[in-house]
């Protein structure tokens, strides 16, 4: 998941960044105050940052979307702070945004007439999808220089997904990427205002902003129990795709902070990511972790981005 311190494959704790549009991105450290307020407290910006920064860095503005690495949280909705059992992350979604996470893996379900974020069993942790999407919209309104990505594991149909995004007021932010065309730069996405990319693991898609993830991206295997299990070989999707999802988390038998402690620290983390970059001959775009606040995620991503 420093100074910089998880999305389809979706999202307000107090906003520590200044409220003026030229003040830059939100707080980028990984420290968490025990008494941190859980509510959104940031003001909508009246314009773009000046000078423009893109995901916190001017150096990233003229890079294409697929030429940038993004800190990514696996099962971003499943958090200790909100009492999920077992959790995949510590802080809730809004704090992840504040800390610098820019891509989020989210699981969507329907239960008892509600559209929810859950992880398999809604009884051990859930949040209304609409609430999470409002978090995302609030963040994007407050910080217009940020590009976000959602990777959805959808257990709901496209019409239900679309209705949730429309109700949350997110449609004007959604980027549309025709398959096989070059990705725009972060600057172009930010200037256009369409700076949220939504991927889904469902191939049943018709809407131009609702992208089948494995037509655009490929990932590494995700069923890893020990550090030695982490591999760089393609899992889902084609390795000829321009986007690369690097799954860097362990599940034995569930996510645990102790497992993240084993693999989220340098030098192991950087060495593993660079090994996969060499083997694939491609920049890993989405560095996906459990317990992002443990270890060196943001430094690893900065390194990949040459910052």
What residue spans define the domains of the chain? 58-304
Helix (H) or strand (E) holding 137: helix 129-142
In angstroms, the CA 245 to CA 235 distance is: 10
pLDDT at 41: 72
Beta strands per DSSP E along 74-225: 103-111, 114-118, 126-128, 148-154, 196-200, 210-212, 217-219
Is 213 within 8 Å of 238 (Cβ atoms)? Answer: no
pLDDT at 17: 36
Integer angstrom CA distances of residue 132 from 42, 146, 150, 167, 170 = 16, 17, 12, 12, 11
Tens digit of pLDDT at every position of the chain (307 positions): 333 333 333 333 333 333 333 445 554 444 444 334 445 679 999 999 999 999 999 999 999 999 999 999 999 999 999 999 999 999 999 999 999 999 999 999 999 999 999 998 998 999 999 999 999 999 999 999 999 999 999 999 999 999 999 999 999 999 999 999 999 999 999 999 999 999 999 999 999 999 999 999 999 999 899 999 999 999 999 999 999 999 999 999 999 999 999 999 999 999 999 999 999 999 999 999 999 999 999 999 999 999 9
b/e per residue 236-263 (b: at least 16 CB within 10 A): ebeeebbbbbbbbbbbeeebbbebbeeb
pTM above 0.85, yes or no: yes
pLDDT at 26: 53
**Peptide bond preceding 67: is omega within 30 degrees of 0, i.e. cis?**
no
For residue 107, the cross-strand partners are: 153
Whether domain 58-304 has CATH 3.40.50.2000: no
Collapsing DSSP to helix, strand or coil, 60 comes out as helix
In angstroms, the CA 195 to CA 288 distance is: 20
């Amino acid at each position: 998941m420093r100074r910089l311190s998880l999305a389809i494959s979706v999202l307000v704790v107090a906003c520590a960044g200044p409220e003026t549009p030229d003040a830059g991105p939100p707080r980028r450290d990984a420290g968490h105050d025990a008494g941190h307020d859980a509510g959104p407290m940031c003001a909508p910006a009246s314009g773009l940052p000046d000078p423009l920064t893109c995901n916190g860095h001017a150096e990233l503005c003229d890079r294409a979307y697929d030429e940038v690495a993004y800190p990514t949280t696996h099962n971003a909705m499943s958090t200790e702070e909100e009492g999920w059992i077992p959790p995949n992350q510590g802080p809730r979604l809004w704090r992840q945004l504040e800390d610098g996470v820019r891509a989020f893996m989210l699981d969507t379900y329907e239960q008892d007439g509600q559209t929810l974020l859950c992880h398999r069993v809604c009884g051990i942790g859930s949040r209304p999808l609409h609430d999470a999407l409002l978090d995302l919209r609030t963040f994007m309104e407050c910080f217009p220089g940020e590009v976000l990505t959602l990777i959805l594991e959808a257990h709901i149909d496209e019409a239900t997904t679309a209705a949730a995004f429309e109700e949350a007021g997110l449609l004007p932010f959604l980027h549309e990427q025709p398959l096989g065309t070059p990705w725009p730069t972060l600057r172009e996405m930010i200037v256009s205002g369409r700076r949220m990319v939504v991927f889904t693991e469902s191939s049943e898609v018709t809407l131009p902003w609702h992208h089948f993830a494995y037509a655009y991206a490929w990932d590494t295997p995700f069923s890893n129990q020990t550090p030695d299990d982490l591999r760089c070989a393609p899992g889902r999707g084609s390795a000829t795709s321009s986007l690369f999802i690097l799954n860097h988390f362990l599940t034995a038998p569930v996510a645990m902070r102790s497992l993240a402690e084993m693999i989220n620290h340098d030098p192991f983390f950087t060495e593993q990511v660079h090994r996969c970059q060499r083997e694939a001959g491609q920049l890993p775009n989405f560095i996906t972790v459990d317990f992002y606040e443990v270890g060196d995620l943001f430094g690893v991503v900065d390194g990949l981005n040459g910052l």
